[in-house]
Structure 1
Protein backbone atom coordinates (compact mmCIF):
# COMPACT_ATOMS: atom_id res chain seq x y z
CA UNK A 1 0.00 0.00 0.00
CA UNK A 2 2.89 2.36 0.75
CA UNK A 3 4.23 1.89 -2.77
CA UNK A 4 0.85 2.80 -4.23
CA UNK A 5 0.78 5.98 -2.13
CA UNK A 6 4.09 7.05 -3.71
CA UNK A 7 2.41 7.12 -7.12
CA UNK A 8 1.48 10.85 -7.02
CA UNK A 9 5.14 11.76 -6.57
CA UNK A 10 6.22 9.45 -9.35
CA UNK A 11 3.67 10.89 -11.79
CA UNK A 12 3.97 14.57 -10.89
CA UNK A 13 7.75 14.29 -10.45
CA UNK A 14 8.14 12.85 -13.95
CA UNK A 15 5.87 15.51 -15.43
CA UNK A 16 7.62 18.42 -13.70
CA UNK A 17 11.07 17.02 -14.50
CA UNK A 18 10.17 16.99 -18.18
CA UNK A 19 8.78 20.52 -18.00
CA UNK A 20 11.86 21.77 -16.15
CA UNK A 21 14.19 20.24 -18.73
CA UNK A 22 12.19 21.57 -21.67
CA UNK A 23 11.16 25.04 -20.45
CA UNK A 24 13.17 25.76 -17.25
CA UNK A 25 9.84 26.57 -15.58
CA UNK A 26 8.05 24.84 -12.72
CA UNK A 27 4.34 25.76 -12.66
CA UNK A 28 3.27 26.45 -9.07
CA UNK A 29 -0.25 25.12 -9.74
CA UNK A 30 1.17 21.71 -10.65
CA UNK A 31 3.36 21.74 -7.55
CA UNK A 32 0.34 22.59 -5.39
CA UNK A 33 -1.67 19.80 -7.04
CA UNK A 34 1.21 17.43 -6.41
CA UNK A 35 1.43 18.41 -2.74
CA UNK A 36 -2.31 17.97 -2.25
CA UNK A 37 -2.31 14.58 -4.01
CA UNK A 38 0.63 13.34 -1.94
CA UNK A 39 -0.91 14.59 1.32
CA UNK A 40 -4.21 12.93 0.40
CA UNK A 41 -2.46 9.63 -0.31
CA UNK A 42 -0.55 9.72 2.98
CA UNK A 43 -3.70 10.78 4.88
CA UNK A 44 -5.63 7.84 3.43
CA UNK A 45 -2.83 5.44 4.37
CA UNK A 46 -2.62 6.88 7.90
CA UNK A 47 -6.38 6.59 8.32
CA UNK A 48 -6.45 3.06 6.95
CA UNK A 49 -3.51 1.80 9.04
CA UNK A 50 -4.24 3.93 12.17
CA UNK A 51 -0.64 5.18 12.11
CA UNK A 52 -0.64 8.95 12.43
CA UNK A 53 3.01 9.56 13.34
CA UNK A 54 4.30 8.96 9.77
CA UNK A 55 1.76 11.50 8.51
CA UNK A 56 3.06 14.08 10.99
CA UNK A 57 6.62 13.25 9.92
CA UNK A 58 5.63 13.68 6.26
CA UNK A 59 4.21 17.14 6.97
CA UNK A 60 7.31 18.10 8.98
CA UNK A 61 9.47 16.77 6.14
CA UNK A 62 7.62 19.00 3.67
CA UNK A 63 8.07 22.08 5.82
CA UNK A 64 11.69 21.26 6.67
CA UNK A 65 12.64 20.63 3.06
CA UNK A 66 11.09 23.89 1.92
CA UNK A 67 12.85 25.88 4.66
CA UNK A 68 16.24 24.29 3.91
CA UNK A 69 15.84 24.77 0.16
CA UNK A 70 14.73 28.39 0.64
CA UNK A 71 17.76 29.06 2.85
CA UNK A 72 20.03 27.61 0.15
CA UNK A 73 18.33 29.70 -2.54
CA UNK A 74 18.70 32.88 -0.48
CA UNK A 75 22.30 32.11 0.50
CA UNK A 76 23.39 32.20 -3.14
CA UNK A 77 20.83 34.01 -5.31
CA UNK A 78 20.58 32.62 -8.81
CA UNK A 79 21.90 29.16 -7.91
CA UNK A 80 18.45 27.73 -7.17
CA UNK A 81 15.18 29.05 -8.48
CA UNK A 82 11.96 29.32 -6.53
CA UNK A 83 10.61 26.45 -8.61
CA UNK A 84 13.20 24.20 -6.97
CA UNK A 85 12.16 25.54 -3.57
CA UNK A 86 8.50 24.83 -4.26
CA UNK A 87 9.23 21.29 -5.52
CA UNK A 88 10.95 20.59 -2.19
CA UNK A 89 7.52 20.72 -0.48
CA UNK A 90 5.92 17.62 -2.05
CA UNK A 91 9.24 15.78 -2.18
CA UNK A 92 9.82 16.48 1.51
CA UNK A 93 6.32 15.18 2.15
CA UNK A 94 7.12 12.01 0.23
CA UNK A 95 10.44 11.34 1.95
CA UNK A 96 9.31 12.52 5.39
CA UNK A 97 6.85 9.63 5.63
CA UNK A 98 9.80 7.21 5.73
CA UNK A 99 11.51 8.97 8.64
CA UNK A 100 14.50 11.12 9.45
CA UNK A 101 17.03 8.64 8.03
CA UNK A 102 15.31 8.74 4.64
CA UNK A 103 15.17 12.55 4.85
CA UNK A 104 18.95 12.76 5.42
CA UNK A 105 19.59 10.13 2.73
CA UNK A 106 17.50 12.23 0.33
CA UNK A 107 19.64 15.31 0.89
CA UNK A 108 22.85 13.30 0.47
CA UNK A 109 21.53 11.64 -2.70
CA UNK A 110 20.36 15.01 -3.99
CA UNK A 111 23.85 16.47 -3.47
CA UNK A 112 25.57 13.55 -5.24
CA UNK A 113 23.08 13.21 -8.08
CA UNK A 114 22.87 16.99 -8.42
CA UNK A 115 26.64 17.34 -8.80
CA UNK A 116 26.71 14.59 -11.44
CA UNK A 117 23.69 16.10 -13.21
CA UNK A 118 25.15 19.62 -13.31
CA UNK A 119 28.49 18.32 -14.59
CA UNK A 120 26.86 16.21 -17.30
CA UNK A 121 24.51 19.04 -18.29
CA UNK A 122 27.36 21.51 -18.63
CA UNK A 123 29.32 19.09 -20.80
CA UNK A 124 26.35 18.31 -23.02
CA UNK A 125 24.99 21.84 -23.38
CA UNK A 126 27.98 24.15 -23.19
CA UNK A 127 26.14 27.36 -24.05
CA UNK A 128 23.19 26.92 -21.70
CA UNK A 129 23.88 28.38 -18.25
CA UNK A 130 20.65 27.44 -16.46
CA UNK A 131 20.59 23.83 -15.33
CA UNK A 132 17.21 22.23 -14.52
CA UNK A 133 17.47 20.80 -11.00
CA UNK A 134 14.06 19.16 -10.56
CA UNK A 135 15.13 15.84 -12.19
CA UNK A 136 17.93 15.05 -9.69
CA UNK A 137 15.68 16.16 -6.81
CA UNK A 138 12.95 13.74 -7.89
CA UNK A 139 15.38 10.88 -8.56
CA UNK A 140 17.00 11.34 -5.17
CA UNK A 141 13.61 11.38 -3.44
CA UNK A 142 12.60 8.13 -5.13
CA UNK A 143 15.90 6.42 -4.24
CA UNK A 144 16.37 7.71 -0.67
CA UNK A 145 13.66 5.60 1.04
CA UNK A 146 15.28 2.50 -0.45
CA UNK A 147 18.65 3.45 1.03
CA UNK A 148 17.42 4.38 4.51
Structure 2
Protein backbone atom coordinates (compact mmCIF):
# COMPACT_ATOMS: atom_id res chain seq x y z
CA UNK A 1 0.00 0.00 0.00
CA UNK A 2 1.50 3.31 -1.04
CA UNK A 3 0.95 6.43 0.98
CA UNK A 4 -0.99 9.17 -0.76
CA UNK A 5 -0.78 12.84 0.08
CA UNK A 6 -3.53 13.65 2.58
CA UNK A 7 -5.37 15.99 0.22
CA UNK A 8 -5.45 13.42 -2.60
CA UNK A 9 -6.49 10.63 -0.23
CA UNK A 10 -9.33 12.80 1.12
CA UNK A 11 -10.41 13.72 -2.42
CA UNK A 12 -10.50 10.08 -3.50
CA UNK A 13 -12.55 9.07 -0.44
CA UNK A 14 -14.96 11.95 -1.09
CA UNK A 15 -15.31 11.08 -4.78
CA UNK A 16 -15.84 7.41 -3.94
CA UNK A 17 -18.76 8.36 -1.68
CA UNK A 18 -20.19 10.64 -4.37
CA UNK A 19 -19.84 7.99 -7.09
CA UNK A 20 -21.44 5.35 -4.88
CA UNK A 21 -24.43 7.63 -4.25
CA UNK A 22 -24.70 8.68 -7.90
CA UNK A 23 -24.65 5.04 -9.04
CA UNK A 24 -27.43 4.19 -6.63
CA UNK A 25 -29.56 7.15 -7.74
CA UNK A 26 -29.04 6.50 -11.45
CA UNK A 27 -29.87 2.81 -11.02
CA UNK A 28 -33.10 3.63 -9.19
CA UNK A 29 -34.21 6.21 -11.74
CA UNK A 30 -33.25 3.93 -14.62
CA UNK A 31 -35.37 1.10 -13.17
CA UNK A 32 -38.40 3.36 -12.72
CA UNK A 33 -38.19 5.12 -16.09
CA UNK A 34 -37.51 1.99 -18.13
CA UNK A 35 -39.92 -0.40 -16.46
CA UNK A 36 -41.34 -0.32 -19.99
CA UNK A 37 -39.64 0.88 -23.19
CA UNK A 38 -39.48 4.63 -23.60
CA UNK A 39 -41.24 5.37 -26.88
CA UNK A 40 -41.85 8.52 -28.90
CA UNK A 41 -45.47 8.29 -27.72
CA UNK A 42 -44.34 8.44 -24.09
CA UNK A 43 -42.05 11.36 -24.97
CA UNK A 44 -44.93 13.20 -26.63
CA UNK A 45 -47.03 12.83 -23.47
CA UNK A 46 -44.45 14.35 -21.09
CA UNK A 47 -46.15 17.76 -21.05
CA UNK A 48 -49.25 16.07 -19.63
CA UNK A 49 -47.45 13.70 -17.27
CA UNK A 50 -45.33 15.60 -14.74
CA UNK A 51 -44.25 12.41 -12.96
CA UNK A 52 -42.74 10.97 -16.14
CA UNK A 53 -41.27 14.36 -17.08
CA UNK A 54 -39.53 14.51 -13.70
CA UNK A 55 -38.20 10.97 -14.17
CA UNK A 56 -36.82 11.91 -17.58
CA UNK A 57 -35.15 14.99 -16.12
CA UNK A 58 -33.77 12.93 -13.24
CA UNK A 59 -32.44 10.26 -15.59
CA UNK A 60 -30.72 12.76 -17.90
CA UNK A 61 -29.27 14.67 -14.95
CA UNK A 62 -28.07 11.58 -13.12
CA UNK A 63 -26.63 10.00 -16.27
CA UNK A 64 -24.71 13.21 -17.02
CA UNK A 65 -23.63 13.74 -13.42
CA UNK A 66 -22.23 10.23 -13.01
CA UNK A 67 -20.40 10.44 -16.30
CA UNK A 68 -18.94 13.82 -15.34
CA UNK A 69 -17.93 12.68 -11.87
CA UNK A 70 -16.29 9.53 -13.17
CA UNK A 71 -14.59 10.94 -16.25
CA UNK A 72 -13.68 14.43 -15.14
CA UNK A 73 -13.07 14.00 -11.42
CA UNK A 74 -12.48 10.44 -10.21
CA UNK A 75 -10.48 9.35 -13.25
CA UNK A 76 -8.08 12.29 -13.08
CA UNK A 77 -7.63 11.91 -9.32
CA UNK A 78 -7.08 8.18 -9.67
CA UNK A 79 -4.50 8.73 -12.39
CA UNK A 80 -2.66 11.17 -10.11
CA UNK A 81 -2.80 8.65 -7.29
CA UNK A 82 -1.08 5.96 -9.37
CA UNK A 83 1.63 8.42 -10.37
CA UNK A 84 0.36 9.46 -13.79
CA UNK A 85 -0.08 13.00 -15.04
CA UNK A 86 -3.62 13.46 -16.34
CA UNK A 87 -3.80 14.93 -19.83
CA UNK A 88 -6.50 15.67 -22.34
CA UNK A 89 -9.79 13.89 -21.71
CA UNK A 90 -9.33 11.48 -24.63
CA UNK A 91 -5.85 10.55 -23.40
CA UNK A 92 -7.19 9.93 -19.89
CA UNK A 93 -9.99 7.76 -21.30
CA UNK A 94 -7.55 5.77 -23.43
CA UNK A 95 -5.35 5.23 -20.37
CA UNK A 96 -8.38 4.15 -18.31
CA UNK A 97 -9.30 1.64 -21.02
CA UNK A 98 -5.75 0.22 -21.06
CA UNK A 99 -5.86 -0.07 -17.26
CA UNK A 100 -9.18 -1.94 -17.49
CA UNK A 101 -11.22 0.75 -15.77
CA UNK A 102 -13.35 1.47 -18.85
CA UNK A 103 -14.61 -1.13 -21.28
CA UNK A 104 -14.06 1.28 -24.18
CA UNK A 105 -12.94 4.89 -24.54
CA UNK A 106 -14.92 5.09 -27.78
CA UNK A 107 -18.08 3.88 -26.03
CA UNK A 108 -17.48 6.47 -23.31
CA UNK A 109 -17.19 9.23 -25.91
CA UNK A 110 -20.36 8.02 -27.63
CA UNK A 111 -22.12 8.18 -24.26
CA UNK A 112 -20.83 11.74 -23.87
CA UNK A 113 -22.28 12.72 -27.24
CA UNK A 114 -25.54 11.03 -26.30
CA UNK A 115 -25.61 12.96 -23.04
CA UNK A 116 -25.35 16.20 -24.99
CA UNK A 117 -28.15 15.08 -27.31
CA UNK A 118 -30.44 14.21 -24.39
CA UNK A 119 -29.80 17.56 -22.77
CA UNK A 120 -30.16 19.79 -25.83
CA UNK A 121 -32.29 18.24 -28.56
CA UNK A 122 -35.17 16.39 -26.95
CA UNK A 123 -37.51 19.34 -26.47
CA UNK A 124 -38.09 19.69 -30.20
CA UNK A 125 -38.49 16.08 -31.27
CA UNK A 126 -40.08 13.32 -29.15
CA UNK A 127 -38.59 10.62 -31.40
CA UNK A 128 -35.08 11.96 -30.78
CA UNK A 129 -35.72 12.02 -27.04
CA UNK A 130 -37.09 8.48 -27.03
CA UNK A 131 -34.16 7.18 -29.04
CA UNK A 132 -31.62 9.02 -26.89
CA UNK A 133 -33.19 7.85 -23.65
CA UNK A 134 -33.40 4.22 -24.78
CA UNK A 135 -29.77 4.38 -25.88
CA UNK A 136 -28.82 6.00 -22.57
CA UNK A 137 -30.60 3.18 -20.78
CA UNK A 138 -28.42 0.65 -22.63
CA UNK A 139 -25.30 2.57 -21.55
CA UNK A 140 -26.12 2.67 -17.84
CA UNK A 141 -24.43 -0.72 -17.22
CA UNK A 142 -21.23 0.61 -18.84
CA UNK A 143 -21.22 3.62 -16.49
CA UNK A 144 -21.90 1.43 -13.47
CA UNK A 145 -19.20 -1.03 -14.52
CA UNK A 146 -16.66 1.79 -14.94
CA UNK A 147 -17.58 3.11 -11.51
CA UNK A 148 -17.16 -0.31 -9.94
CA UNK A 149 -13.81 -0.87 -11.63
CA UNK A 150 -12.43 2.49 -10.49
CA UNK A 151 -13.76 2.01 -6.96
CA UNK A 152 -12.34 -1.52 -7.03
CA UNK A 153 -8.95 -0.07 -7.91
CA UNK A 154 -9.17 2.19 -4.86
CA UNK A 155 -10.21 -0.69 -2.62
CA UNK A 156 -7.53 -2.97 -4.06
CA UNK A 157 -4.87 -0.43 -3.17
CA UNK A 158 -6.39 0.05 0.31
CA UNK A 159 -7.13 3.70 -0.45
CA UNK A 160 -10.73 3.41 0.72
* TM-score relative to the length of structure 2: 0.36
The structure whose RCO (Cα within 8 Å, separation 6+) is larger is: 2
Between Structure 1 and Structure 2, whose CA radius of gyration is higher? 2
